[in-house]
Amino acid sequence: MRRALVLPFRGTLQGTILCPRDKSLSHRAAFIGALSEGETHISGFSFCRDCLATLSCIRALGVEVHTFPEEGKVVIRSGGLFALREPEDVLNAENSGTTIRFMAGIASGIRGLTVLTGDESLRRRPMRRVIEPLRKAGVEIGGRGGDRFPPLFIRGKGSVLPFHHVLEVPSAQVKSALLFAALWGEGKSTIVEPLPSRNHTENMLRYVGVPLHEDHGVITIEPPGSISASSFDLPGDISSAAFLMALALCIPGSSLLIQDVGLNPTRAGFLRCLERMGGRYRVLGRRKTFGEERGDILVEHSELVATSVEPEEIPLLIDEIPILAVIAAKARGTTVISGAQELRVKESDRLFAIARGLQSLGVNVGEKEDGLIIRGPCAFRGGTVQSFGDHRIAMSFIIAGLLGEENVVVEDVDCVDVSYPSFFTDLGKLGIQSVTVEEAR
């Protein structure tokens, strides 16, 4: 286990950097490649630990996967929906909630038994939310602890009953699992989404020709029979770009251009929140591929003010809450985050982890059942912060250390590879040499 020693950064950020590739889109492109007949070419693939778990799982279904990490490319060859085979062994999703929940949907259509597990953290994450709707679609599925946790078993029959499901929790993972299962449907299925969540799966399925229609939160999908392979050129990950944006916003004199960032409106809640806080940024070269907006973001140092984050916004910036909390601690006034109870069942209890970490750095922060109250501005003092093995917590407090007044130690930073394996390298490219990763004593 390694830790990071973070010294305050006294320079400014100037220049240009390519945004790390989008993890969410990489998962979906790989799974859709496995479901398609022919050869799928993916450029801009995220070779993070989570996405490597997805590639491992689809290989076990009889799919041919060729990786070219130096070029950021993956080539997938598959016989399509009805050529996927029963895996010979338990599938390990590692730390990836996306992988295990998407695989539950896909395994619903594959004849035979599929067993899904993950690491210690993933085996504590809630699975009933995906088990119950799949069971209503006629899928034989169950999990540990009265269907609450992994491991999961799915006994697929080669087809799925048509279903109508209203999402109780705004979850793109559950929604996508159901959309994937519906590809083997015996008829048309519908999903009702009371609050919007990221819509990457819908965009990508439409792009490959799946009959899918959305109208005021009601998604209708018809089984396509077959899917023809396509190519994907993936944009950068705004959830990873948020860490770099935080530095540029909070370090005086900084101006940073982050190239090729995904700008899907269902992922842009972080940007809208920054606007309210007085964050100065501009989007340049806005464009669209396979239904996904993308562009370059120019970020400049800003005098930030507090804001309120309401429950309906949370699904649109769920992954950015940890770094947003760090930014809020540097803003003038009291920031209130509400409706974020979903963060308690992520890789860690993120509300607890954020509050405890900020408190250890001298921030006036209160923890609510569904959120946080952060009073700023605050000068981060030194100290030791636990990551709880959570990649977004680890990176958020490394950023806090760079913005601080004294040295900070962040424990257990190996987890950064889960989503952003080039994080420390990218900090170096920006001229930040004040982060040292070492073996924990």
DSSP of 298-324, one letter per residue? EEE----B--EE-GGGHHHHGGGHHHH
pTM of the model as a whole: 0.96
Per-residue pLDDT at 356 = 97
Cis preceding linkage at 151, omega within 30: yes
Average pLDDT per run of 10 along the chain, which is 441 residues long?
96 95 98 98 98 98 98 98 97 97 98 98 96 95 97 97 93 96 97 94 98 96 97 98 98 98 96 98 96 97 98 95 98 98 94 97 97 97 96 98 97 96 96 93 73
Please give the Cα distance from 227 to 84 (Å, whole number).
Answer: 13
Backbone angles phi, psi at 410, to 5 degrees: -110, 115
> What pLDDT is recorded for position 170?
87
Q: Which of 197, 223, 228 is nearest to 212 (CA)?
A: 223
Q: Say what the alpha-carbon torsion angle 49, 408, 355, 424 is, to the nearest 10 degrees.
A: -20
Query: Where in the sequence numbering do the catalytic residues fall?
Result: 319
Cα–Cα distance, 212 to 102 (Å, whole number): 18
CA dihedral 429, 434, 438, 441 (to 10 degrees): -160
Distance, in Å, from the CA atom of 411 to the CA atom of 390, rounded to the nearest integer, reads: 10
**Which tokens in the block code for residue 415?**
């987890």
Report how far residue 126's alpha carbon sits from residue 149's, in angstroms, rounded to the nearest whole number.
5
Q: Identity (one letter) of the amino acid at 284?
A: L
3-state helix, strand, coil in the chain (%, to 5): 35, 30, 35
- 166 Cβ contact partners less than 8 Å away, ≥ 6 residues apart: 191, 192, 194
Q: Answer yes or no: are the C-beta atoms of 420 and 391 closer than 8 Å.
A: yes
Residue 315 confidence (pLDDT): 93
